[in-house]
Amino acid sequence: SWTTTNVVEEQIALIREQVGTRRAICGLSGGVDSAVAAALVQRAIGDQLTCVYVDHGLMRKGETEQVEKDFVAATGVQLKVVDASERFLDALAGVSDPEEKRKIIGREFIRVFEQAQAEIVAEAGVTGEPVEFLVQGTLYPDVVESGGGTGTANIKSHHNVGGLPEDLQFQLVEPLRKLFKDEVRMVGQELGLPEEIVHRQPFPGPGLGIRIVGEVTRERLDLLREADAIAREELTAAGLDREIWQCPVVLLADVRSVGVQGDGRTYGHPVVLRPVSSEDAMTADWSRLPYDVLARISTRITNEVKDVNRVVLDVTSKPPGTIEWE
């Protein structure tokens, strides 16, 4: 019968059989799938696994630390962190077009990851067993989607930063291939992963890069990161995390409006709250959040985030609006 304990034990045996004494690499994205896949493989083969986390500088507040500290503490995994935020920001300088941003972020991500991969392969070559495996957090719905039919047309180029192009150099280890998302979360829980990772809501691979309407700069990222953290904190405090699918916070960086604070006139940016309810992100409805929660988020953001003087609510369903603004 299906129990998470059985799934974990069965997968550990299969991974050991597949990898033997050789070595494996796994890219961590901060998301639940790659985290659970890595934790399973770590259980099976320990230090024969090395994880790579590319910090593109576009994560939300605390997310990189969650991977670097909490995930490592919970699993004992060997982790190589590459701080590439400068490189990503340089590549994004002057770019406002959403698809252009996605292309740049995807391209840079693959370059940085491949370089880290090559370094790990080279280091292992000196000391012992070869690196022959790449771990991926492919789920059952991904398998079905790529195997059959055309699926639903993608409006946006959704390269998931966690999902890299198949590399012929490596064989794939995909321990989640038979699982649905809720089962993956149960396995993650069984493996003792941090709650914030196991129950993380969807977050796009290109991160906050596609939640700044306009050019992405360090200053703008800092503003958005603060505003987003406040919204998430208040939604969590109100117990609404499981009710909403996700709530993007979007910075309208090229828009300014007049406000008043204390005795002074302000001229700042608006942020948009985009809380949605959904089953699969293909369609969505805007979430009817309680007014007092919206009020707390608005008050806190305008008080605490310098240069943000207006909070607006997106009341568009999908279609016609997409969930993200870009």
Closer residue to ligand XMP (CB): 78 or 160: 160
- Provide the token pair at 189: 């829980």
| Total site size for ligand XMP, rule CB under 6 A | 15
CB of 316 to ligand XMP, least distance (A): 11
Q: Which of residues 187-206 bind ligand XMP (CB under 6 A)?
A: 202, 204-206
CA distance 273 to 257: 17
Pick from 279, 274, 248, 247: which is nearest to 182 by CA? Answer: 279
Pick from 217, 145, 152, 197: which is nearest to 30 by CA? Answer: 197
CB of 6 to ligand XMP, least distance (A): 30
- Say if residue 29 carries a ligand binding annotation: yes
Closer residue to ligand XMP (CB): 155 or 168: 155
Among 85, 266, 316, 322, binds ligand XMP (CB under 6 A): 322
Is residue 156 a contact residue for ligand XMP (CB under 6 A)?
yes
Between strands 23-28 and 131-135, the pairing is parallel
CA distance 156 to 110: 19
Gyration radius (Cα) of the chain, Å: 21
Read off φ and ψ for residue 75, nearest 5 degrees.
-115, -25
CA distance 56 to 216: 12
CB of 259 to ligand XMP, least distance (A): 29
CB of 233 to ligand XMP, least distance (A): 19
Q: Which of residues 263-292 bind ligand XMP (CB under 6 A)?
A: 281
CB of 118 to ligand XMP, least distance (A): 25
Closer residue to ligand XMP (CB): 74 or 281: 281
* Span from 54-62, 87-95, 119-127, 318-326 in contact with ligand XMP (CB under 6 A): 318-326
Pick from 240, 258, 246: which is nearest to 296 by CA? Answer: 240
- Say if residue 33 carries a ligand binding annotation: yes
CB of 199 to ligand XMP, least distance (A): 15
By the 10 Å C-beta count (0-12 exposed, 13-18 middle, 19+ buried), 54 is classed as buried
Residues 48/25, Cβ–Cβ less than 8 Å: no
Cα dihedral 74, 77, 83, 88 sign: negative
Q: Which of residues 71-110 bind ligand XMP (CB under 6 A)?
A: 102
- Say if residue 259 carries a ligand binding annotation: no
Number of Cβ atoms within 10 Å of the Cβ of 1: 3
H helix intervals, 128-158: 140-147
Among 107, 158, 178, 306, binds ligand XMP (CB under 6 A): 158
- Say if residue 205 carries a ligand binding annotation: no
CB of 92 to ligand XMP, least distance (A): 14
- Say if residue 97 carries a ligand binding annotation: no
182 half-sphere exposure, CB direction, 13 A CA radius: 4
Residue numbers in the known binding site for ATP are: 29-35
Q: Which residues bind ligand XMP (CB under 6 A)?
A: 102, 155-156, 158, 160, 202, 204-206, 246, 281, 318, 322-324
